[in-house]
């Protein structure tokens, strides 16, 4: 009854763009998941530092696209951070 995906795509050629779009969407979703795992603000395991967000470099952008954005430390927060350590 079912001879496979390739046979169906050969006989019904109008399904080829749909299969291509679905394949590209699945590949894009998978690659973004893999990309997100290697970002420094993502925690996969719970061993090590209990506050891993303290290790992130604030001068390095964490977004995919950053347009003319500069980070400047807030003096009050830096003072509180130094008092709590």
Q: Is the pLDDT of residue 9 over 80?
A: yes
Whether 33 and 40 have beta carbons less than 8 Å apart is answered as no
Nearest to 35 by CA among 74, 68, 63: 63
Domain that holds residue 63: 5-84
Average pLDDT, the chain: 80
Whole-structure pTM value: 0.49
**Structural domains in the chain (count):** 1
């Amino acid at each position: 009854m079912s001879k496979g995906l390739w046979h169906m795509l050969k006989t019904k050629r109008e399904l080829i763009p749909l299969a291509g779009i679905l394949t590209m969407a699945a590949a894009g979703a998978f690659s973004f998941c893999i990309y997100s795992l290697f970002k420094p603000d993502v925690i996969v395991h719970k061993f090590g530092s209990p506050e891993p967000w303290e290790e992130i470099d604030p001068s390095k952008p964490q977004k995919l696209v950053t347009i003319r954005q500069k980070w400047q430390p807030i003096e009050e927060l830096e003072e509180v951070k130094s008092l709590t350590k």
